[in-house]
Amino acid sequence: MHSDSREWVAEIKTLARQRKAIILAHNYEPPEIQDIADLCGDSLELSRQAARTDAEVIVFCGVHFMAETASILSPEKRVLLPRPDAGCPMADMITAEALTAKMASLPPMPVITYVNSPAEVKALSTVCCTSANVVKVVNSRPEDELLLTPDRNLAMYAASQSTKKIHLWDGFCPIHESLTTEDVNRVRADHPEAVFLAHPECRPEILRMADVVASTSGMLRHVAAAKERAFIIGTEQGLIHPLQKANPDKRFYSASNKLICKDMKKIGLADVHRCLKDMDNEVKVPEHIRRPALKAVEQMIALG
């Protein structure tokens, strides 16, 4: 192991140049991973940006479904996940088999699938959505009924902004689900001047308490434009690093000390170094799944 993380960083940069690699880091990754990345952001946004580059290799510092999305959008690039055991509990709450059974039990209707899902589930879906555009995607459909998978909290949020009947899938993000009204009341009592921003993966009662409901990139945009100086952040604590970096004169408080995703914290500098050195842990979506999954993602992108 290197005693000095600066050595790791220098070697990672050298290897990335040699491999013609781009390093992507999700907003929830540890600060030292975000700081070495070429691009930081939301999972889909990162995959779309990487697809437009001439990089031959994508090193995705995130979780498995994110690397799959990069593979869906950049089939000609090699996609590496530094820690193959970095998964997503919510993405694991749905499978292609289970979705096929659910679709058979309902009348014919479009399936809208959150990007936080396995590629094989996207492949069965009509259209994908993100936490930022879910309401737009739902309301763009001509049908009166639809199934939204796999996040029930996101689906309930969309339903609150739509006249459509939305069937729920019983999945959720355990991190956002853990945030309670007591947690929010406690931090609000300590920081009464702070604006409370909540992610749509939180429970409905939390969203009702929020001053602003936004995706991670939506939170970054909101804070940058806001005149207020203090913010309570109702999403995974990793987002506080880019928020603070972009707004050094503003103050940020986590809505709860429970808002830490173990999977998002698995990747360290040593993992990125080893992955670039050995070119291992490739994530490749098979073509028969990639093509229909890409169609569902492109349907969403076409909405603008």
Prediction pTM value:
0.95
Judgement on whether residues 244 and 269 belong to the same structural domain of the protein: no
Longest dimension (CA), the chain: 60
Decide which of 258, 274, 299 is a domain's last residue. Answer: 258
The band of 4, judged by pLDDT with boundaries at 50, 70 and 90, is low
Evaluate whether residue 153 is within a structural domain.
no
Judgement on whether residues 240 and 275 belong to the same structural domain of the protein: no
What Cα–Cα distance (Å) separates residue 223 from each residue in 45, 121, 142, 218, 257?
19, 34, 34, 9, 21
Evaluate whether residue 68 is within a structural domain.
yes
12-45 pLDDT, tens digit per residue, is 999 999 999 999 999 999 999 999 999 999 989 9
Phi-psi region of 41 (alpha: psi -120 to 50; beta: other; left: phi over 0): left
Report CA 1 to chain centroid distance, whole Å. 30
CA dihedral sign, ordered 96, 300, 207, 236: positive
Evaluate whether residue 133 is within a structural domain.
no
Evaluate whether residue 13 is within a structural domain.
yes
Judgement on whether residues 231 and 271 belong to the same structural domain of the protein: no
55-96 pLDDT, tens digit per residue, is 999 999 999 999 999 999 999 999 999 999 999 999 999 999
pLDDT of residue 278: 97
User: What count of other Cβ atoms lies within 10 Å of the Cβ of residue 294?
Assistant: 20
Q: How far apart are CA 198 and CA 211, in angstroms?
A: 8
Domain that holds residue 272: 5-87+264-285
Please count the structural domains in the chain. 2
- Give, in degrees to the nearest 5, the angle at Cα 215 between 217 and 171: 140
Evaluate whether residue 66 is within a structural domain.
yes
219-238 pLDDT, tens digit per residue, is 999 999 999 999 999 999 99
What Cα–Cα distance (Å) separates residue 126 from each residue in 111, 137, 295?
5, 11, 8
Evaluate whether residue 106 is within a structural domain.
no
Evaluate whether residue 100 is within a structural domain.
no
CA dihedral sign, ordered 148, 175, 84, 98: negative
Q: Kindly state the DSSP code that residue 194 receives in the 8-state scheme.
A: P
Judgement on whether residues 24 and 43 belong to the same structural domain of the protein: yes
Which among 71, 45, 67 is positioned nearest to 216, based on CA atoms? 45
Judgement on whether residues 254 and 277 belong to the same structural domain of the protein: no
Q: How far apart are CA 93 and CA 170, in angstroms?
A: 8
Judgement on whether residues 9 and 81 belong to the same structural domain of the protein: yes
233-288 pLDDT, tens digit per residue, is 999 999 999 999 999 999 999 999 999 999 999 999 999 999 999 999 999 999 99
Mean pLDDT of 178-189: 98
Q: How far apart are CA 75 and CA 144, in angstroms?
A: 35
Evaluate whether residue 138 is within a structural domain.
no
Judgement on whether residues 27 and 59 belong to the same structural domain of the protein: yes
The domain spanning residue 54 has which CATH number?
Answer: 3.40.50.10800
Judgement on whether residues 216 and 277 belong to the same structural domain of the protein: no
